[in-house]
Structure 1
Amino acid sequence: MELKTIRYELTDGIATVTLSRPKRRNAWTGRMHTEYRWVLAEADKDPAVRVIVVTGDPEGQAFCAGADMAALEGHSEKGRYDSGTTADIAKPGFGVAPEFDATFAYHFGLTKPVIAAINGAAAGVGLVLATFADLRFCAAGVKFTAAHGRFNFPAEFGLSWVLPRIVGLTHANDILLSSRVFTAEEAMEMGFLNKLLPPEGLMPHVMDYARKLADGVSPGSLRETKKQIYTDLHRDAAGAVTAAERLLEEMIKHPDYKEGVKAWMEKRRAEWQG
């Protein structure tokens, strides 16, 4: 696929996905969603990729400013919602569990962890993208908003399900019912962010963290642990324990288990087979 709104780079096991419409503050369109899902699908099936980092083009001075206003005007003129995508759009993360087979919920079905490097404003779908990432690192001073309230929209794309599970019901109600602007500093206090950083330190920290995941954790462990986390949201405690015990019995037979033990004993970096 020819990429016009997304930049994709793979370095040392880390796939960096950059939302790149800088003249429109990296605003979301059907084309961007199509390209985004395509690069996620490519990264997820590529054994060379261990971790995925999503960020915004810094020239856009935003992570993602939400849906492009032209798209919002188009919805109004048509009198209906139009995603701007086609039926043949890529389906990364689909087929793992029925609960993940939907727009943006597909992030939970990916086999690689996704880190959001939030380097500017995240509004509407920008907030959605950040929320469905597995980890969130953010530059100080960034502003967030759900935005939907001002357009007579509902809470978008499952935010009403996922936000309470991250920040709790009290904070989620505040964010979603008011659609107010809140700061990165507030987001950190709410528990929405993993770490708040100076703008110039954001990407170095994110890439260092991603390298530690790529180098220090076996691909099988990353894959299965991520799947456990989101699958277990729908299980009771006993079901989660039983599934974990079954996985342990399976995964201990993999060569990466022996390699992990040997590397630990020899105090060296493990050479994962994946």
Structure 2
Amino acid sequence: MSELSSGPARAPSDILYDLADGVATITLNRPEKLNALTPQMLTDFFAAVARAGSDPDAKVILITGAGRSFSAGLDLGIIGTGGGGRVETHPETAPQWGDDIGPKLAPYYSGGWPVLITCRKPTIAAVNGPAFGWGFILALHCDIRFAAQSALFNATFARIGVPGEKGSAWLLTRLIGQARAMDLLYTARRFDGAEAKALGLVNDTFADDELLAHAKAYARNIATFSAPRSLAAMKAQVWTALDEDYSTAFAAADHEQDQATKTEDFREAFTSYREKRAPLFTGR
């Protein structure tokens, strides 16, 4: 397992990166702070997703948290609310952004989020504990979510006077429908993994000590038996599905199928089936 960092040498990275069996596992690594997110942490996280996205050996991206939390959200110990509602830095711990904090935060807190969707590899969140605020949003950006029985979720935004941040209202509406999305956003209440499963927000729940093993096995199965080009095409299809009419989606699928039948992976799929072995997909 490697650490991601940039710039001068510093403390061990808050983001861990491991690649094994075609699965790139990215771990939020501030367990003593419940994996609360900082600017550097987000910068490193987005870099880790981009790294996996460009690595042909990484077929699937698995995201989880170290310790007993997925992510408690934005680290308010670094960026807090000052007098008159003005957002301030804490100079002893934070970069020196000065008074014009909003635009200067954007590269850290806005610019990287779409990489989870635009990266054409499956992303799986193994939510091993609380996923609050921006930690909740991070899980929403993944394609598939599994949760531990102890997991808790919370769209905190209404209680701190902000809208549904970072596309969360858009994502929630797509995932669970308008009425349920509004319930979670309006009340900002906490709910557990069992309710998240009932809402359709997570695919399944597992005992705490079984979650990561299941998520890794699931990811390895995709990495082993699913063609990378098919995964990329299907991810694009699903994410755009609700914004296209049927005829457009049908035509796009036909075009993609025509292209796929010309690839080495298409031939390998049938060859491995006849030979009764796992396919050796190359992405070509």
Q: Report the TM-score, using the length of structure 1 for normalisation.
A: 0.90
Q: Check whether the contact 1:33–1:85 (CA below 8 A) recurs between aligned residues.
A: no
For residues 9-158 of structure 1, the aligned pairs below 5 Å read: 9-58=18-67, 61-73=68-80, 76-78=86-88, 82=102, 87=107, 103-158=112-167
Give the corresponding residue for 2:185: 176
User: For 1:188 and 1:151, how far apart are their aligned partners in 2?
Assistant: 26
Q: Identity over the aligned pairs, expressed in percent?
A: 33
Q: Which amino acid aligns with 1:69?
A: L
CA distance in 1, matches of 2:35, 2:47: 18
- Alpha-carbon distance in 1 for matches of 2:81, 2:102: 8
Which structure: greater helix fraction?
A: 1
Contact 2:133 2:154 in 1 (8 A): yes
Distance 1:65 1:83 in 2: 24
Between the aligned partners of 2:80 and 2:126, the Cα distance in structure 1 is 29
Q: CA-to-partner distance for each residue in 1:247-269, whole Å, 9 max, x for gaps?
A: 00011000111110111122110
Against the structure 1 CA distance between its residues 203 and 102, is the aligned structure 2 distance closer, same or farther, given a 3 Å change threshold?
A: same
Rg comparison, structure with higher value: 2
Distance of 1:49 and 1:196 partners within structure 2: 25
Structure 1 residues 161 and 257 mapped into 2: Cα distance closer, same or farther (>3 Å)?
Answer: same
Residue 13 of structure 2 aligns to a residue whose secondary structure is: coil
What TM-score does the superposition give when structure 2 sets the normalisation length? 0.87
How big is the shift at 1:163?
0.3
Quickly say closer, same or farther: Cα 1:110–1:21, change in 2 above 3 A. Answer: same
Which runs of 5 or more residues in structure 2 are unaligned?
6-11, 89-98
Number of the residue aligned with 2:223:
214
Q: Secondary structure at the match of 1:43?
A: helix
Cα deviations by residue, 1:108-140 (Å, 9 ceiling, x for unpaired): 110111000000000000110111100000000
Equivalent residue for 1:95? none
Structure 1 residues 207 and 19: CA distance shift in structure 2, 3 A: same
Does the 8 Å contact 2:46/2:113 carry over to 1?
A: no
Question: For the aligned residues, what is the CA RMSD?
Answer: 2.0
Deviation at 1:168, TM superposition (A): 1.1
